[in-house]
Chains A and B, each alone.
Chain A
């Protein structure tokens, strides 16, 4: 039996420590992992807890990220609680197996500490890896700070392992900006944290020797479509209600409230920026300052990236006149993902909002408050003109001549 750890009500943790503590508190059975900056401390944390008797699961230090997720899949199919962490190139190497995990309906939790993808090589935070995962069939939750990274892990286990869901889930946090920035984190006791997620309930487990199962079959044109449809049906219909229920239960337990779509000053906002990760908190500060000047600005943060909260976003944005979508990933050949998703979300609504797109922060480049003020100046001009007054896609925080497209 693993030892419990006495935590202070508020610990000073960075995002990696917060995630590692969450993995300890839910007593993950198997962690198969491979180190990569900036996510490494999460699995080092689990290894350290094991070395000191705080967890009694298995830590399997494999030889690549592909093997890490392969081992996680084997372990999850065997029947138990499984988690790992990765970033960037490692995430890219895992991609093949991400599709296997979701297709086989195995509730693995992957902490993704978001980082740029080379070339050129870069260890800092942007959202390229998170975006790469968006068609892989996983639930994707986004943390903006270490507290979220801690809390969202509990939500992820609870939802993913639910027998009505049985889908893997990623908890995203920004590389370095969250993962290595220590902040006060309100903790749960070991007992409360484990109690919230609950004992792992096996399903279709290989280790049930009385009920042999075959996992990972081949399906061709006569079956594949139906299986993929069933997977999509679960992701589209079962997950959102389960996340909402988990958020509500978590609020009762911790007093901390999460939403599918996070909003700040949106009640009467004329203009809004939509972004993810640490940028949400930067934008919130700017909006508070603009509000003091009488400018009706607001912020929308994506909390649940997959499944995409289309209806909730449409509702939040229905009265906004200008929207700036901020993508921290190079879209390479088109507009940013958030622009595309928001355009798709609003297309059949009555909105006449003017929509534009900003590419920012690649490879860990700072997004400053001045940048966000500049974006709101653009949005104000669009509100006043009732049409786009700037190029559709603009790069911000980039050296050299101004770069924009469309």
Chain B
């Protein structure tokens, strides 16, 4: 086990040398990039990276340019997890056989995928990797929509969001289904470490990434990625929107250790109404019509219930 990087405060964190480069093609204000930086900068260890097809992938490896300073692979939409699992298997084989070129260095294996690649098309591959127990971290960049293909709903899209395949219209309020609870599903795999993070809470996130890197076995991180393009807010507001998400508890921050031990890691001093979070984004604009006000009430009820459930699970330690 390598040494954990010391990151006492933001000043210390800012001495990190990024291993992710600019002039990538992500939208101005994209949270994906902020998340990737916080993940990669949480360690000084070598990295072997993979990405499933999606915004991050198509914007960071467009020939003849790469934005990655560590080895990186992309195969398809569904298999970023298995790509890095295959690399991890090769690492183990070559270690056994004494054929590693730098045997004293232990790389971390990390796969990135959007919520489409994670909640939907790549779900089986990720489940397989976690059941098999590869020593890897899977980071879902959860922007609750197929952003790369232009804003179609995924199983992470929340009720009431207008997406291009579930548009709000004269007789529709948009997405009808509740967001899939991927964190709970991954915890149910018995993974040693599962957590939900948000880039605005950088310290919470870095601490969780470091815990994940220290764990033996597969680690799942669900990272909220506020999407300026599809959530419809101004690019400079990415962090402000993220603050609304975490402080309204729409995105509660917590971790689950070994599938059972749940810890809430961020308790807002002032919990703000869900209405404020919804109102800041164009994708929920139609909910503020009079006939849909009940949906905002239901939203608040759902968020309250989830918060209650998390607190009870934390208390019960089961």
Residues on A lying within 8 angstroms of B by beta carbon are 29-30, 32, 56-58, 60-64, 66-67, 70-80, 82, 96-97, 100, 202, 205-210, 212-220, 223, 227
The segment from B65-73, B167-175, B254-262, B290-298 found at the interface with A is B65-73
Q: Is the CB of A71 within 8 A of B63?
A: no
| Cα–Cα, bound, A202→B83 (Å) | 18
Q: Is the CB of A70 within 8 A of B125?
A: yes
Q: Is the CB of B76 within 8 A of A96?
A: yes
* Further pairs besides A56-B96, A57-B93: 10, Cβ < 8 Å: A32-B82, A67-B125, A70-B83, A73-B75, A78-B91, A97-B79, A206-B87, A207-B90, A212-B68, A213-B71
Q: Is the CB of B90 within 8 A of A74?
A: yes
Q: List 22 A-B contacts (CB under 8 A).
A: A32-B82, A57-B93, A60-B89, A64-B124, A64-B128, A66-B79, A66-B125, A67-B125, A70-B75, A71-B85, A72-B86, A78-B86, A79-B90, A100-B76, A207-B91, A212-B68, A215-B72, A216-B83, A217-B63, A217-B66, A218-B57, A223-B63
Does B105 sit at the interface, judged by CB under 8 A?
yes
Q: Is the CB of B63 within 8 A of A206?
A: no
Identify which of residues 225-278 in chain B touch chain A, using a CB-to-CB cut-off of 8 Å. Answer: none
Of the residues A96, A97, A214, contact of B68 by C-beta under 8 Å:
A214
Q: Is the CB of B94 within 8 A of A29?
A: yes
Nearest-neighbor residue (CB-CB) of B84 within chain A: A74
Does B120 sit at the interface, judged by CB under 8 A?
no
How many residues of chain B are within 8 Å of chain A by beta carbon? 48
Q: Is the CB of A78 within 8 A of B61?
A: no
| Cα–Cα, bound, A29→B92 (Å) | 9
With both chains docked as a complex, state the minimum distance between the C-beta of A126 and any C-beta of chain B, in angstroms.
Answer: 28
A207 and B128 contact, Cβ closer than 8 Å, known pairs A78-B48, A78-B91, A217-B63:
no
Q: Is the CB of A207 within 8 A of B107?
A: yes
| Cα–Cα, bound, A208→B94 (Å) | 12
Chain B residues whose C-beta falls within 8 Å of the C-beta of A100 in the assembled complex: 75-76
Of the residues B73, B97, B99, B128, contact of A63 by C-beta under 8 Å:
B128
Q: Is the CB of A79 within 8 A of B94?
A: yes
With both chains docked as a complex, state the minimum distance between the C-beta of A56 and any C-beta of chain B, in angstroms.
Answer: 5
Of the residues A30, A210, A217, A220, contact of B86 by C-beta under 8 Å:
A30
How does the 8 Å CB contact mask read for B78-114 relative to A, with 1 for contact and 0 for none? 1100111111111111101101111001010000000
Query: Which among A97, A213, A215 has the highest number of chain B CB atoms within 10 Å?
Result: A215
Does B315 sit at the interface, judged by CB under 8 A?
no
Residues on B lying within 8 angstroms of A by beta carbon are 46, 48, 50, 57-58, 61-64, 66, 68-76, 78-79, 82-94, 96-97, 99-102, 105, 107, 124-125, 127-128, 131-132
Chain A residues whose C-beta falls within 8 Å of the C-beta of B132 in the assembled complex: 60-62
Nearest-neighbor residue (CB-CB) of B124 within chain A: A63
Q: Is the CB of B76 within 8 A of A219?
A: no
Chain A residues whose C-beta falls within 8 Å of the C-beta of B127 in the assembled complex: 63
Chain A residues whose C-beta falls within 8 Å of the C-beta of B61 in the assembled complex: 214, 216-218
Q: Is the CB of A207 within 8 A of B101?
A: yes
| Cα–Cα, bound, A202→B84 (Å) | 18
| Cα–Cα, bound, A79→B94 (Å) | 9
| Cα–Cα, bound, A226→B191 (Å) | 44
9 closest Cβ pairs, A-B complex: A74-B86, A63-B128, A216-B74, A206-B71, A78-B90, A71-B86, A70-B79, A214-B66, A74-B83
Q: Is the CB of A207 within 8 A of B97?
A: no
With both chains docked as a complex, state the minimum distance between the C-beta of B120 and any C-beta of chain A, in angstroms.
Answer: 15
Q: Is the CB of A30 within 8 A of B93?
A: yes
Chain B residues whose C-beta falls within 8 Å of the C-beta of A214 in the assembled complex: 61, 66, 68, 71-73
Chain A residues whose C-beta falls within 8 Å of the C-beta of B124 in the assembled complex: 63-64, 67
Q: Is the CB of B46 within 8 A of A209?
A: yes
Chain B residues whose C-beta falls within 8 Å of the C-beta of A202 in the assembled complex: 101
Q: Is the CB of B125 within 8 A of A63?
A: yes
Chain B residues whose C-beta falls within 8 Å of the C-beta of A78 in the assembled complex: 48, 86-87, 90-91, 94
Query: Which among A30, A57, A62, A216 has the highest number of chain B CB atoms within 10 Å?
Result: A216
A206 and B125 contact, Cβ closer than 8 Å, known pairs A58-B92, A80-B93:
no
| Cα–Cα, bound, A210→B87 (Å) | 16
